[in-house]
Amino acid sequence: MRRYHARMSSLDDLRRHTRVVADTAEYLRLPGLGAQEATTNPSLVLRAVRAAEYAPLLREPALREAAARDRDEAMDRLLVRFGCEIVQRVPGRVSTEIDARLSHDTAASVERARRVIGLYEACGVPRQRVLIKLASTWEGIEAARLLRDEGIACNMTLLFSFAQARACAAAGVQLVSPFVGRITDWARQQAGAAWDAQAHSGERDPGVLALLRIWNFYKARAIATEVMGASFRDVAQIAALCGCDLLTVSPALLGELAQSSRPLPRRLDPDKPAPAEDDAPLALSRAGFAAALAADPMCSSKLEEGIGLFAADTEALLELLRD
């Protein structure tokens, strides 16, 4: 009798070559997503607490008491509350973001990161299972360097440029998250009606190419910093980066991958990186970093736009805590 074997899903293929991370704060969905880690941010937490399943967290006595004293502390407690639920449902790490309004304040970012880690440890979650998310500003990267020396690992978010990636590597950060989708959004917006979706798909996608430049540079130089692609717009972007260290993917796209039987072959092999595009030095001075961002309108505008959006959602979270 002939036996038929079900084809593995695209998500199964991806998991063979890449560490899959769920981009969500909705921890009740995690068991069905097949992710090994999870990333959160203020926007994702805000979306979750507006849903009936998670709204009761806002009414927990400990959180209400904290909100009466200090809403910033209450917000950190809320973020950690979500993180503690997440680490019960994934075997790996959770990324928790520091208040985006502090993105240009190194000292304040360090203090808030210490508090978040302290809250996790008080709940029995070791710091090895937490990544502190910081914006990839000069001040955020410096905060990550200082926290690294205390054994606190960071995930550098809102990363749009090669200069940001070089500065992060020079600081010895744990992980960088190039925003693939938002880079492509910028290119599409600039092209307007002339945008050719077919010509800029898959391996020719601008966001994919930006991440590949960083990944190849890191691997060619044996830089230990992990690369995690983020902000994906479609499965084609994910497929083009199969083999990247990590990819953080929305539940919707994870579901699409799980339902697909399309093979996802490895595209990136850490043992066989493509030649680095240039021999740029790793370190940047503060002035050099500022000049590089000023010369890159996509990076400078997307970085500040992202900080602004996260800061606005942080304010919305604080209002919910006040109410």
Q: How far is CA 159 from the centre of its chain?
A: 9
The greatest distance separating any two alpha carbons of the chain, rounded to the nearest whole angstrom, comes to: 71
3-class DSSP state of 3:
coil
How would you class 59 by CB atoms within 10 Å of its CB: exposed for 0-12, middle for 13-18, buried for 19 or more? exposed
Task: Report phi then psi at 231, rounded to 5.
Answer: 55, 55
3-class DSSP state of 188:
helix
Query: Around Cβ 222, how many Cβ atoms within 10 Å?
Result: 8
User: What is the C-alpha to C-alpha distance for residues 104 and 244, in angstroms, rounded to an integer?
Assistant: 29
Rg of the Cα atoms in the chain: 20
How would you class 289 by CB atoms within 10 Å of its CB: exposed for 0-12, middle for 13-18, buried for 19 or more? buried
Q: Give the type of residue at 182.
A: R
Is 299 within 8 Å of 164 (Cβ atoms)? yes
Q: What share of the chain is helix, strand, coil (3-state, %, to 5)?
A: 55, 10, 35
- Annotate 246-312 with DSSP letters as a single string: EEEE-HHHHHHHHH----------TTSPPPPS----S---HHHHHHHHHT-HHHHHHHHHHHHHHHH
In the numeric block, which tokens belong to residue 320? 């919910």
Q: How far is CA 189 from the centre of its chain?
A: 23
Write out the catalytic residue numbers: 133
